């Protein structure tokens, strides 16, 4: 009985309609890139400080920079 109830509940859950996907926009996001003076360092993990400066680390260059 418990297995039948569980199977019925699982089946009913799978048959529920999925929520609609978010509406797509026709505009492209605004991107800004900055040159990094460290060749092949793969900068990553940007973080905006309270004063507006952007801190990041160099994955292959072993540095923290602003």
- Comparing CA positions, the residue from 46, 47, 41 lying closest to residue 59 is 41
Residue 65: φ, ψ to 5°: -140, 165
Q: What is the pLDDT of residue 23?
A: 61
Give tens-digit pLDDT for 5-57: 777 777 777 777 766 666 666 788 788 887 888 788 888 888 899 998 989 88
Residues near 59 by Cβ (< 8 Å), separated by ≥ 6? 41, 42, 43, 44
Single pTM value for the model: 0.46
Cβ–Cβ under 8 Å, residues 57 and 44: yes
């Amino acid at each position: 009985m418990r297995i039948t109830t569980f199977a019925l509940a699982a089946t009913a859950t799978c048959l529920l309609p999925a929520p609609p996907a978010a509406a797509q926009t026709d505009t492209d996001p605004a991107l800004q890139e900055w040159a990094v003076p460290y060749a092949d360092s793969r900068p990553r993990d940007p973080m905006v400080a309270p004063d507006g400066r952007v801190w990041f680390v160099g994955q292959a260059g072993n540095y923290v920079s602003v």
